[in-house]
Amino acid sequence: MDIIKKNLNIKKKIQSTESSIIKYPYGENDPYAIIELVASTQIYSKKYNIDQMPVLSARVSHASSGKSGNNPDADLNLMRYLADNEHLSPFEHQSVTFKVILPLFVAREWMRHRTQSYNEVSMRYSSDPVGKFYFPLFWRKQEVKNKQSSLGMIENQKECTEILKQTYQNCLDSYKKLLDLGVCREQARLVVPVGNYTQYYATANLRNWFNFYRLRIDGGAQWEIRQYAKCIDEILSQIWPNSWNVLKETLDKKTKKKAS
């Protein structure tokens, strides 16, 4: 609740936001991982701003959209009511496009989110994407209880990285050899490992970005995709502090309810 109160002066905040925000999910030293805000919905009226879209669209039910913007507290309360009661269609009018550069194994998880629209680089068209590899900052141990998860750090980090380095090099050498032998790119890519980076544009509305965030920020999601979820949160918190944060608040409320 406090986060939202602090952000009431949203118009000012939006004006000061860069049109393109780039993050490095695995740390600034990672040469490839990027998430960039490419496009987001605008309102062509001086009366409203886009962060009010959920209340504008909700109030159309009783033909009272014009009331929006006069009382920021009432707008916020309505937005919160909508989010708390899962009346979520008013959160579907704000569209966001990100350009994402991420390892293939993360992309496979990400693309399970079917309500996003995608356009991805083609390894049939170009060999350029091949050879840009992800190196984990830390090697994690297998979690025993949760078979999908990891827990704690491996002692011999260097050896793990060395194995990965060699494997990547072998894959890259094989890829190049196949191309030299005249094999088409669409088959040569069979040797490309899931640690290779890919890139795509992903577009969704706010409701579906929240669904992505909710599922992928959770401790049960893989660490690598969680870093991208964090970036999305940072960016959306900046551009639409009210409508994004009321959605996020519902997570806190659920967690508190579970704990009590």
Ligand X SMILES: Cc1cc2nc3c(=O)[nH]c(=O)nc-3n(C[C@H](O)[C@H](O)[C@H](O)COP(=O)(O)OP(=O)(O)OC[C@H]3O[C@@H](n4cnc5c(N)ncnc54)[C@H](O)[C@@H]3O)c2cc1C
* Positions in the binding site for ligand X (CB under 6 A): 112-115, 208, 211, 215-216, 220-221
- Taking the least distance from each CB to ligand X, the nearer of 216 and 248 is 216
Minimum distance between the CB of residue 236 and ligand X, rounded to whole angstroms?
A: 16
Structure tokens at 129: 């994407």
Beta strands in 107-237 (DSSP E): 117-120, 140-142, 150-153, 197-205
- Taking the least distance from each CB to ligand X, the nearer of 67 and 214 is 214
- Taking the least distance from each CB to ligand X, the nearer of 197 and 209 is 209
Query: Which positions are catalytic?
Result: 216
Residue 165 amino acid letter: K
Nearest one of 21, 23, 13 to 243, comparing CA atoms: 13
- Taking the least distance from each CB to ligand X, the nearer of 71 and 115 is 115
C-beta of residue 97 within 8 angstroms of C-beta of residue 38: yes
Residues with Cβ < 8 Å from 188, sequence gap 6 or more?
Answer: 127, 175, 178, 179
Strand (E) or helix (H) holding 38: strand 34-40
